Amino acid sequence: MTRLSVNINKIATLRNARGGDNPNVVKVALDCEKFGADGITVHPRPDERHIRRQDVLDLKHVLTTEFNIEGYPAPAFMELVLQVKPAQVTLVPDSPDQITSNHGWDTFANQDFLQDIIAGLKDSGIRASVFVDADPSMVELAARAGADRVELYTEPYASDYRKIGPEMAVDKFVKAAIAAHQCGLGLNAGHDLSLENLAFLKKSIPFLDEVSIGHALICDALYLGLEKTITEYKKCIE
């Protein structure tokens, strides 16, 4: 079974644009759960330009599905996640001013750093996922660092899906997924997945545990409505 975790960062971006509490991040998260989401993802950044620290604390007390918190493991981020203790923390190599994630970890150059961070998460009972490019060597070194899962950075797949065709676009992701499976790692995927390209990814990678989708899903919800959109994304992975 592949699970759908809905990233609600864009909901917080919309709220922050007016400075009030509309839309309410917690209500939207609970509605996503009610409409069939298997989890909720947030990616708090140091400048709180979308998800805020208080949002994370508020969500901790009300979510009934898996809570996934993404972010760069700076001291303030680690303090927050160790306090909240979500089901999963996804470690991403973003700089503070980065608009969105655009590459995975170099798990060779950052091996010692990641080992220490992952050990701290696992000591607190938190599943550790490492954001990586579709490179079997990076996947294998994530396993060596102690990760429970890897999340494949799928923007290149989404970009190539139309340019060179689905089969060629997915090839390196299948190889990375096989490497993860052989290392005993769980497998997540995320970034630019959509109703257009998600079903083919799922068909090509049968041991895909979770997809985390935000931007495309929220854009689709503007036309289809949130409930219908979540239903359509779930169809892609079932």
Per-residue pLDDT tens digits for 119-162: 999 999 999 999 999 999 999 999 999 999 999 999 999 999 99
Residue 92 burial (C-beta neighbours within 10 Å; 0-12, 13-18, 19+)? buried
The pLDDT value recorded for residue 95 is: 72
Instruction: Report, as an integer, the average pLDDT of 26-37.
Output: 98
Place of tokens 């089901």: 87
Q: Select from 25, 38, 21 the least CA-distant residue to 213.
A: 38
Which amino acid does the sequence have at 31? Answer: D
Helix 25-34 and helix 9-18: axis angle, to 10°? 150
- pLDDT tens by residue, 161-171: 999 999 999 99
- Is 61 an annotated catalytic residue? no
Active-site position among 43, 50, 140, 151: 43
Instruction: Enumerate long-range contacts of 155-162, CB under 8 Å, 24 or more apart.
Output: 155/102, 155/191, 155/192, 157/192, 157/197, 157/201, 158/191, 158/192, 158/193, 158/194, 158/197, 159/192, 161/196, 161/197, 161/200
Active-site position among 33, 140, 151, 191: 191
- Is 33 an annotated catalytic residue? no
Q: Are the beta carbons of 216 and 175 closer than 8 angstroms?
A: no
Task: Judge whether residue 97 has pLDDT over 70.
Answer: no
Q: Are the beta carbons of 42 and 53 closer than 8 angstroms?
A: no
Active-site position among 33, 70, 140, 151: 70
Q: Are the beta carbons of 57 and 84 closer than 8 angstroms?
A: yes
Instruction: Report, as an integer, the average pLDDT of 7-14.
Output: 98
- Is 103 an annotated catalytic residue? no
User: Integer distance in angstroms from the first to the last C-alpha of the chain?
Assistant: 7
Q: Are the beta carbons of 4 and 35 closer than 8 angstroms?
A: no
Q: CB-based contacts of 147: which residues, under 8 Å, 6+ apart? A: 114, 118, 128, 129, 130, 185
Confidence label for 69 from pLDDT (cuts 50, 70 and 90): very high
Average pLDDT, the chain: 96
Confidence label for 206 from pLDDT (cuts 50, 70 and 90): confident
Q: Are the beta carbons of 8 and 43 closer than 8 angstroms?
A: no
Instruction: Name the CATH superfamily, with its identifier, for domain 3-237.
Output: Aldolase class I (3.20.20.70)
